[in-house]
Structure 1
Amino acid sequence: FDEAHHVENVATTFFGTTFTRYQVLDLTADVERSALNDLSGKRRDEVAAAARSLAGMLEQLVLFFPPEPGRFPLEGLPQQRAGLDSVRDGMLAAFARLVEAMEGLDSREEPWGQYVLRAEDLGERLRAVTAERFTDLLPEDIRAVHWYERRDKNLVLSATPIDVAEDLRSTLFASVRHTVFTSATLSAGGDFSYFLQRLGLPPDTHTLTFSSPFDYANRTLLYLPEEHFPEPQAPGYTQSLHDRIRELIKLSRGRALVLFTSVQAMEMAHAALRDQLPYSLLLQGTGPRRELLARFAEEKESVLFAVASFWEGVDIPGEALSLVIIDKLPFEVPSDPVIMARINRVRAAGGNPFFDFQVPRAILALRQGVGRLMRCSNDRGVMAVLDARLFSKGYGRRFLRSLPSSPLCRDLAVVRQFFREDDTDEHP
């Protein structure tokens, strides 16, 4: 497995179940269109009516959930559980009526057979994601977390495995003699224990670390803010963050990728700095990912503000990228239903959720972020992590030990001199 740091997330998706509003709307639209085009008379009317009935029941299901955007546990709606079960049962009956209305059509040419399969599959998905929780189970015996997400006009219902280790053992590892996992970010400070635990691999699993082929010691600089720089929760942090981002981008003359841990932080920084910098400031979400990356690579002295998926998979070798800025340590939101369930699982097993789960995950994410800078041996630049907790908190040392072996500085004058040397190398 290459890029094996994704194995747990891929397995989580594979072994989980998801039901969405758009899946149902796609099905009902396809059925109605085919009914109008392929059927006639009473059969056409019955099939179209069954599809419309299902779409109507779907909207009742959507209205049942609060409209606030975000991801929330289903068990957070205990007072409405009976209502959810009633709406769910109505949806399941509507799926059954649609399948019955299409009875006999599935033996004809496609697409009717596929429509029946899709309707049956969606019914099973709905049943799975809204299954009753067994309240008498101990926390360590609960296998999945059931949650919902409101996103624009969509509703997503999911049942996500809390721990994929057992599923991987019984499916993948039981069927192969040897498995090789490779990635630049499997260990946290040389320690593979987090990766091994999450995948259910034994502690004596053979591990091997290779040195980086890049000359971090001579071609990069790691900048961290000075001692008085405010921590993320302190008053004045946002203004200090924006000021420092502006100063760093001016020193690098653009050519910067600025990575944020939230969309709100990204948008606030972009709004604050777009009129203060003489460079093209690109913003994730204003265009397709591929187009934004192409513009960033082609436009001299441009800056890209981004979150989430841009923390990895961005490959911009050469002078177009000379500075990577990260706003703060990428801890995940602990209120996310899946993260919350996994935190509770670690705690129930006697572990320390913060140090055994949250810190290792943040370390691996940070390593992915700073890894955007050096993409070939000739690259040169600065990595800046603007989070004072790297020095003020004891766990900060674990993050620092996991970062590349770059010279560390906390003085902008050193960064200024680094980029001056860069200019000298380009124009001797």
Structure 2
Amino acid sequence: SAIFDAEPGRIDHLDEELATYLTALRDAAFVIRSAIDTTPSDPQAAAARTEAVTAVTEVGDIAARMLDSFGPAIPDRHDVVWLDQIENNRGGPKRAILRVAPLSVAGLLRTRLFQHCTTVLTSATLTIGGNFEAMAGAWGLNGGDPPPKWHGLDVGSPFDHAKSGILYVAKHLPPPGRDGTGSPAQLDEIEALITAAGGRTLGLFSSMRAARATAEVMSERLSTPVLCQGEDTTAALVQRFADDDQTSLFGTLSLWQGVDVPGPTLSLVLIDRIPFPRPDDPLLTARQRAIAARGGNGFMAVAANHAALLLSQGAGRLLRRVDDRGVVAVLDSRMATARY
């Protein structure tokens, strides 16, 4: 009841009502845990009770962690607490969920992982600006006493990007608005680009609202098919897209990172805007604020790095084989005009 009607978002100050309920929840969980007998003679019952103890312990520990997170001053906190609301799959009211997450995982990775074993971290998108420093800092490799020893190796790419692809930035378009939907000029640009490509387009959007709105307009304007994430399972939509070289597929985050469609079926990757995190993202905004409180540039260290990695992953949907060709079109004029 206490969280159901509350506004979703980051919680910086714990009010008395929520503190009372979290304390009661913590204490009740610990009482239940101690009351469960995990040594009955029946092995099946013992396993079930052990599982129950684990679950109840987790509830109690999380409630305690939330209460403890409000002790230090805001810049010194280690955890972020926020209220989330998610859709009910059965059509009922939204569910309110209280969440907690570490402000930074750097210390945890350093003490729990890197100080104990040799680790190999590998991905196609770990460098920002040609080096590993941003990710190394986020993972705790640049801190500690002594800091872990690490070595970064960029093995390059099998693709000749300059000959295989074109990067097109629509710098004549107005900057994107806050509502996430495309301007009339952007919609005209998308229509012209997809028409020139003859379909064959993967549209990567910053929100499902933008993807659906654009798909609806393009379905009316274009003579080639347009699919949108949510109309079927993502796997089924990607398969339909791969099977028909005139089809376009629009969607959001999971398509930025998980689509592998080699060949001419995917010849144009459309990116509607620089994928900065949402300004109301509780975890990333808290990380930005903590860096700014220590004198750093929170926007560049968090939001810009986040966007750079996602742009790299999105652009990586285009060239999947050495003989692939195509265009990455970014419809955000800030790519050409903004200092960052």
Q: TM-score, normalised by structure 1?
A: 0.69
Please give the secondary structure, in 1, of the residue aligned with 2:220: coil
For 2:8 and 2:18, the matched residues in 1 are separated by 17
The counterpart of 2:63, out of the listed 123, 130, 142, is: 130
Change in Cα spacing, 1:330 to 1:71, as seen in structure 2 (3 Å) is farther
Tell me the alpha carbon deviations over residues 68-127 of structure 1, each in whole angstroms, 9 at most, x when there is no partner. Answer: 8x962344662532453376369638x829x85x757853142x3343233322322222
Q: How does 1:31-50 map to 2 (within 5 A)?
A: none
Structure 2 contact 171–332 (Cα < 8 Å) conserved: no
Tell me the alpha carbon deviations over residues 164-186 of structure 1, each in whole angstroms, 9 at most, x when there is no partner. Answer: 1111111211112x433222211
Tell me the alpha carbon deviations over residues 246-272 of structure 1, each in whole angstroms, 9 at most, x when there is no partner. Answer: 111111111110001111111211222
Aligned to 2:137: 197
1:164 aligns with 2:105: yes
For 2:236 and 2:13, the matched residues in 1 are separated by 40
1:211 aligns with 2:156: yes
Amino acid in structure 2 at the alignment position of 1:66: F
Q: Give the number of the structure whose alpha-carbon radius of gyration is greater.
A: 1
Aligned to 1:139: 74
Please give the secondary structure, in 1, of the residue aligned with 2:72: coil
Shift of 1:291: 1.1
Amino acid in structure 1 at the alignment position of 2:41: S
Amino acid in structure 2 at the alignment position of 1:129: I
> Once the two structures are aligned, what percentage of the paired residues are identical?
32
Q: Give unpaired runs (5+ residues) of structure 1.
A: 1-62, 396-428
Aligned to 1:174: 115
Structure 1 contact 256–325 (Cα < 8 Å) conserved: yes
Aligned to 1:253: 198
Aligned to 1:333: 278
Change in Cα spacing, 1:343 to 1:234, as seen in structure 2 (3 Å) is closer
Aligned to 2:3: 65
Structure 1 contact 373–383 (Cα < 8 Å) conserved: yes
Amino acid in structure 2 at the alignment position of 1:138: A
1:148 aligns with 2:83: yes
For 2:222 and 2:17, the matched residues in 1 are separated by 51
Structure 1 contact 72–148 (Cα < 8 Å) conserved: yes
Q: How does 1:4-403 map to 2 (within 5 A)?
A: 63-66=1-4, 72-75=9-12, 78=15, 80-82=17-19, 84-85=21-22, 88=25, 92=29, 96=32, 103=37, 106-110=40-44, 112-131=45-64, 132-133=67-68, 135-153=70-88, 154-176=95-117, 178-202=118-142, 205-227=150-172, 229-233=173-177, 238-395=183-340
Change in Cα spacing, 1:90 to 1:282, as seen in structure 2 (3 Å) is farther
Structure 2 contact 14–70 (Cα < 8 Å) conserved: no
For 1:123 and 1:164, the matched residues in 2 are separated by 25
Please give the secondary structure, in 1, of the residue aligned with 2:82: strand
Structure 1 contact 194–357 (Cα < 8 Å) conserved: no
Mean Cα deviation higher: 154-163 or 184-193: 154-163
For 1:350 and 1:218, the matched residues in 2 are separated by 42
Change in Cα spacing, 1:302 to 1:242, as seen in structure 2 (3 Å) is same
Please give the secondary structure, in 1, of the residue aligned with 2:223: coil
Structure 2 contact 12–81 (Cα < 8 Å) conserved: yes
Structure 1 contact 140–348 (Cα < 8 Å) conserved: yes
Please give the secondary structure, in 2, of the residue aligned with 1:181: coil
Structure 2 contact 199–224 (Cα < 8 Å) conserved: yes
For 1:67 and 1:279, the matched residues in 2 are separated by 45
Provide the aligned length of Structure 1 versus Structure 2: 326
Q: TM-score, normalised by structure 2?
A: 0.86
Structure 2 contact 103–286 (Cα < 8 Å) conserved: yes
Shift of 1:300: 3.0
Structure 2 contact 38–50 (Cα < 8 Å) conserved: no
Please give the secondary structure, in 2, of the residue aligned with 1:175: coil
Aligned to 2:92: none
Please give the secondary structure, in 1, of the residue aligned with 2:56: helix
Change in Cα spacing, 1:67 to 1:271, as seen in structure 2 (3 Å) is farther
For 1:367 and 1:253, the matched residues in 2 are separated by 25
For 1:194 and 1:382, the matched residues in 2 are separated by 28
